[in-house]
Chain A
Amino acid sequence: MFGTLRRTILTAAVAALALPALLPLGAVAQERSITVASTTSTEQSGLFGHILPIFTRETGITVRVVALGTGQALDVGRRGDADVVFVHDRAAEQKFVAEGHGGPRHHVMYNDFILVGPASDPAKVAGLRDSTEALRRIAAARAPFVSRGDRSGTHAAELRLWKLAGIDPVEGRGQWYREVGQGMGPALNTAAAQNAYILADRGTWLSFRNRQDLKILVEGDTRLFNQYGVMLVNPQRHPQVKAADGQRFIDWILSPAGQQAIAAYKINGEQLFFPNAAQPEPGA
């Protein structure tokens, strides 16, 4: 019969196209899992890729990380769309807890911010210990400065430093002060392309590949301290929050096992995050 072969070929081709669509999308949705809203710095530095498999092995709980700026991550928690929030902006975190969206807040680990800029260093800040003095010189030189501008933890830290330096960078907006409204990586890409200064977290910087002429110019100032905190989203407000498994994750990351896992994560031999759950929180 004419067309039988043709029909077979057609059917096979249609099946080839349709098959991936038919695979159940929810295949992995059955397993035990929690959703953690966290920051780009922890995800993109590779920390989660290192520590989460250890947690999953120990508990059988898969952790799904949605990486956003701290402000957005807290918003996701406010809406109840995550079970745990793991971010780095103490003031914003305390507000989150005070408003009853979750908590209590636990401090987990720290690293530090660094001031990165072009090797040519037009504002002459290289080697300074005083980060506010460095910002003052950048502003005075009207040298390009890229700001995250996205309500992230790093953005909040940068704004605090400008305030300490007594400068309102917004006056330079559209000229030397450039708010990109994006994550750490895209902001670094922008700074690299424009030979601009930028405040970055060390973890993202260490794993960042497209540095071009950028290098660390200022580091070690105690005001560049970067504390990370973790908290459970309030299950009373959002009944779907997986409180038990979320708490399990928080307990684990604060435990010696979790803290050691954090300390063990290194890029090129350099430790990225320093666990401090066992010590009192600096500046608290």
Chain B
Amino acid sequence: MNFNPLQSVWIAYQSSQSCFKITERVINRAVQDKLVVKTIFYQQPETQAHSFLQLGKAESEDLFVLAVWATFERFLRSYLQTKAEKLRDLYPPALASSFYQQLYRELEFWKPDDMLDLLKSILPGSNLIGQAKQILEYRDWVAHGKNPENHPSANITPKFAYNTLTEIVQLIQLN
């Protein structure tokens, strides 16, 4: 079984969601409780404390999509850089080395959209790449301040983003 780099991001997300639940239970019992000392919830009216927590939960969902995308994108660049190592075997060797170094560096700046298009050839007939592009669009929308006049094409839940990108990672690892 290959290592899935996205799994730790998903566990981090589940962990933060669990922390939110525990905090909700604490607030429900007593905002003044010692458990919330030195936190934003201390001595807040209960409704205000819940409202703060709701804000945090909603934001963490969008930030998870950002984080899982970033981890996926890093995986993709590293995968392509590894594939480019074959260039080192080209003749003449002096050219091969600099050719490889140049491509390795430039891969850091390739557009995510273009990298996804490259993957179409190894994922034929799949709509995974289309879904990944919608995750990218959502990621860009979040990263650029969630413009209310320009919504992304589709809604992205943390679980569906994780499902889709994990599936692509696993299919890539088979190649």
The answer on A and B forming one complex is no
B positions within 8 Å CB-CB of A: none
A positions within 8 Å CB-CB of B: none
